[in-house]
């Protein structure tokens, strides 16, 4: 007997809608294993195609990724009124009509999930709503607009001025032809209104969020930042002030290097939540992109499909292996005599090692030989190391430390 | 009419147990607002006090923070068999008896939650189990032991050798008198076994996790790291290898500065999850500590109390204010003549500004005056700025950028 179906209506079929459809098909088996239900898209509505009433009729849950206020608001309200769960990625809708939508979800006992509306796949909505449900949050700082973070990162990295960095971002697809909503801080303000509502349990109207953009930032400002080791970011802040009040704002700000958001570069998003109980936690990741947004939507869909699960049964039985490939830093204390490097290199070479860099320093009669080798099977590296340690010119136990070579930004 | 009670049995009354009891009392009103239920501790069991059968009888949910394998395992199994939800912070228990415990939870339809068992308040368990429930995770890197991260950070910062940094960590309470479990990598290995189980859906026995500690790391290794701009961390890795196999290991590793874990310093924990769909997300925060662990336990308790909620009603009505205090960077293009700085400083001073630093640079007839002022009410700063912009020697629109002064590590 096959699993029961779980019927999903899809509103919107642009980049995110299509990415969601593809991801859902690709993950169908895993989802069935986790939830006991097989998800199926039973209807699609676009601006030019499909009938909303019919999509709704056939669905248990509606995914809204059309964006904009109309007709998204109307459709989401109708779906919840008809008892359907809703997953949406629509930040405009939530920042302008959140109380109405959340109120209706409560009234009809349905779930309204919206992880993808803020910071894409960075799970800040879930963490605020669940992990920190009763925490007394003091402050929340966020880099919640990837376009502006990319532009500021490029200005910092290359010394470019704002106009050139913006043009680059447009060329690479990180900024739109009309970048106003991003660079003015308005997009970030909408996201901060949503985060503030969740973190502080207080309704926040978008009009109550002050915002300032990055259009006036100059190459000199970033030169100053570099000289002092500071980061310059477009920062959204929501914080308690004067005991009983709340302030929500977006503006460029310098950050000291110890701040968790200072090292967030490129088109990334990140949010730091501060509270006396937790000190602070930071979450970061790519802010947008079709597959990332689709992945956030899918996480919400799966959560809506199941009660808060006990740990699912083991869904795979991968073989657990011990030997893997690693790059290595190798540190040797050797006698300072000719041929030392050649013999070490030969032993490494016999095991297939490729040397990336070598530094040799004389220390009187001894020398210190430090090298980095490219990734190789660890068992083979250690076989070479064992032989190297027995060479008569090696004066101390060789030291090896792995090197993780990935850079993300 | 008051809310119904929610009855909690507490096993263990050490640092974490007492912190949990205090936090629960402190957050009682918020929890009632979020869940509609008022949590109450109906029984406490310690090694010397209390009767397990009676604690169990009176509770709907059991919090296990006694640690160790016995009698924790027996109590947790008995509680679930009796239909009670369980929240535990016990990494040993889960890394050694996880399959037995998860199986029993499924069998009896109860929740077994354990956010606090790995990386304290960093919500990695919830994110793996819920946000990424059907994601195809490729790799997971973690700094999951705060003691070793503190020691390595101090060695990097001060140039100290391992023995001295360890002694400092012991003095400050970051390392235990017998630090073996932490510095050998064994503690991190237990946590990685749990994370790997969740990320890959494959049972992982603690014996299958290779680990190497930090006892052999020298001051020279960190000097090398500093010279090359690398971070040196104790890294746990769980990753797919050769297509269908899994490797889980813990060892020191160098990280390039662009790696999200490279900037995680001090007694912090962080986890990076990589998958094609999401690129990668990183979560970080304090790894341990009584209040932080208690906060993670409380998040789990609240989740067990409620069905996956629609957004709770607004629970507070903070006034949303516009004006706050900020530190500012102020950049002025001025005529290079005497008295300029004095006049600017006077206008700032009249608004209560205190100047932290000033740099003045001549540029032919003009000069560039850059200053940072200590935090002050923004409205007062901008009032001064308005007057400054009207001074006859100011050659261009002044530029002001806020400075966030907090450093976390």
pLDDT by residue (tens digit) across A271-303? 999 999 889 999 999 987 888 999 999 999 999
Inter-chain CB proximity B402 and A240 less than 8 Å: no
Q: Is B130 on the interface with A (CB under 8 A)?
A: yes
Q: Which residue carries 């501060």 as its tokens? A: A274
Separation of CA B183 from chain center: 20
Same structural domain, A390 and A281: no
Q: Identify the domain boundary among B117, B152, B177.
A: B117
Least Cα separation, residue A305 to chain B (angstroms) = 10
A103 and A62 in one domain? yes
What is the β-pairing status of strands B112-113 and B245-255? unpaired
B contact test, residue of A310, A375, A385 with most B CBs within 10 A = A310
- Cα atoms found within 13 Å of the Cα of residue A83, Cβ hemisphere only: 3
Q: Is the pTM of this model over 0.95?
A: no
DSSP string spanning B227-238? Answer: HHT-EEEEEEEE
Co-location of B40 and B156 in the same domain:
no
Determine the distance in angstroms separating the CA of B186 from the nearest CA of chain A, rounded to an integer.
Answer: 16
CA of B58 vs chain A CAs: smallest distance (Å): 22
Spatial distance between the Cα atoms of A186 and B349, rounded to a whole number of angstroms: 33
Does B39 reside within a domain?
A: yes
Minimum CA–CA partner of A193 in chain B: B320
Give chain B's residues under pLDDT 70.
1-2, 307-313, 315, 408-409
For residues A139 and A167, state if they share a domain.
yes
The partner residue sitting opposite B216, judged by closest CB among A132, A320, A399, is A399
A291 vs B303: CB contact, 8 Å cut-off?
Answer: no
A221–B247 C-beta distance less than 8 A: no
Q: Which of B122, B200, B280 sits opposite A281 (nearest CB)?
A: B122
In a domain, A307, yes or no: no
ipTM (interface pTM): 0.89
B277 contacts A282? CB cut-off 8 A: no
Q: Which two tokens stand for residue B108?
A: 């009896």
CA separation for the pair B171, B173 (Å, rounded): 6
B189 near B209, Cβ under 8 Å? yes
Report the DSSP beta bridge partners of residue A7. Answer: A40
Of B48, B83, B117, which residue constitutes the final position of a domain?
A: B117
Residue B289 to residue B268: CA distance in whole angstroms: 11
A407/B247 touch (CB, cutoff 8 Å), yes or no: no
Residue A22 lies in a domain: yes
Closest CA to B143 of B269, B275, B317: B269
**Residue A299 belongs to some domain of the structure:** no
For the domain that residue B385 is a member of, what is the CATH number?
3.30.70.260
Residue B304 included in any domain = no
pLDDT tens digits along B151-210: 999 999 999 999 999 999 999 999 999 999 999 999 999 999 999 999 998 999 899 999
> Of A276, A287, A314, A282, which is closest to residue A188 (Cα–Cα)?
A287
Residue A313 lies in a domain: no
Q: Is some CB atom of chain B closer than 8 A to the CB atom of A346? A: no
Residues of A in contact with B282 (CB under 8 A): 282-285
**For residue A18, is pLDDT > 90?**
yes
Give the span between the Cα atoms of B143 and B271, in whole angstroms: 6
Is B275 within a domain? yes
Residue B386 counted as domain residue: yes
**Domain match, A67 and A215 both:** no
Domain that holds residue A349: 325-403
Residues A93 and A136 in one domain: no
pLDDT one-digit tens code per residue, A355-407: 998 988 887 788 999 899 999 999 999 999 999 999 999 999 998 999 987 77
Is B227 an interface residue toward A (CB < 8 Å)? no
Q: What is the domain count for chain A?
A: 3
- A214 and A92 belong to one structural domain: no
Same domain, yes or no: A112 and A47: yes
Q: How far apart are CA A111 and CA A106, in angstroms?
A: 8
CB-CB neighbors (< 8 A) of B216 in chain A: 399
Q: Do both A99 and A141 map to the same domain?
A: no
Domain boundary pick from A117, A146, A164: A117
Please report, for the domain that includes residue B274, its CATH number. Answer: 3.30.360.10
CATH code for the domain in which residue A94 is found: 3.40.50.720
Q: At A59, list the tokens.
A: 């669905």
Contact of B105 with B87, CB cutoff 8 Å: no
DSSP of B67-102: -SSTTHHHHHHHHHHTT-EEEE--HHHHHHHHHHHH
Q: What is the mean pLDDT of residues A193-222?
A: 92
Say if CB B223 and CB B131 are below 8 A apart: no
Shared domain for B107 and B85, answered yes or no, is: yes
Q: Across the interface, do A322 and B401 touch by the CB < 8 Å criterion?
A: no
Do residues A152 and A242 share a domain? yes
Residues B159 and B193 reside in one and the same domain: yes
Determine contact: B263 vs chain A, CB below 8 A.
Answer: yes
Inform me whether the C-beta atom of residue A217 falls under 8 Å from chain B C-beta atoms.
yes
Decide if B233 is catalytic.
no
Chain B residue with minimum CA distance to A359:
B224
């Amino acid at each position: 007997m096959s699993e029961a179906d779980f019927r999903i209506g899809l509103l919107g079929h642009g980049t995110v809608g299509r990415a969601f459809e593809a991801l859902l098909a690709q993950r169908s088996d895993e989802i069935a294993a986790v939830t006991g239900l097989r998800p199926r898209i039973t209807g699609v509505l676009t601006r030019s195609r499909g009938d909303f009433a019919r999509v709704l009729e056939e669905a248990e849950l509606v995914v809204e990724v059309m964006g904009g206020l109309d007709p998204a608001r109307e459709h989401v309200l109708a779906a919840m009124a008809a008892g359907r769960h809703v997953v949406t990625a629509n930040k405009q809708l939530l920042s302008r009509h959140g109380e109405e939508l959340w109120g209706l979800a409560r009234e009809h006992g349905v779930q309204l999930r919206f992880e993808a509306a803020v910071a894409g796949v960075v799970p800040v909505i879930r963490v605020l709503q669940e992990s920190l449900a009763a925490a007394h949050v003091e402050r929340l700082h966020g880099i919640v607009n990837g376009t502006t973070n990319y532009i500021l990162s490029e200005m910092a990295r290359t010394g470019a001025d704002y106009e050139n960095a913006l043009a680059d971002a447009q060329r690479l697809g990180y900024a739109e032809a009309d970048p106003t909503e991003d660079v003015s801080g308005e997009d970030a303000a909408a996201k901060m209104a949503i985060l503030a509502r969740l973190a502080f349990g207080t309704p926040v109207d978008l009009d109550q969020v002050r915002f300032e953009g990055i259009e006036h930032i100059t190459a000199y400002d970033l030169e100053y930042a570099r000289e002092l080791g500071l980061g310059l970011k477009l920062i959204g802040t929501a914080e308690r002030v004067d005991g009983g009040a709340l302030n929500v704002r977006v503006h460029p700000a310098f950050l000291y290097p110890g701040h968790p958001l200072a090292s967030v570069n490129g088109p990334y998003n990140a949010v730091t939540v501060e509270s006396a109980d937790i000190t602070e936690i930071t979450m970061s990741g790519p802010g947008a992109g079709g597959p990332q947004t689709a992945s956030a939507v899918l996480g919400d869909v799966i959560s809506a499909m199941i009660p808060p699960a006990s740990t699912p049964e083991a869904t795979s039985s991968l073989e657990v292996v011990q030997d893997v490939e690693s790059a290595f830093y190798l540190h040797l204390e050797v006698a300072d005599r000719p041929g030392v490097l050649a013999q070490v290199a030969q032993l490494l070479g016999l095991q297939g090692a490729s040397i990336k860099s070598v530094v040799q320093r004389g220390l009187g009669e001894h020398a210190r030989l430090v090298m980095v080798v490219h990734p190789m099977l660890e068992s083979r590296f250690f076989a070479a190391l064992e032989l190297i340690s027995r060479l008569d010119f090696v004066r101390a136990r060789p030291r090896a430390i792995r090197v993780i070579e990935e850079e993300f930004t």
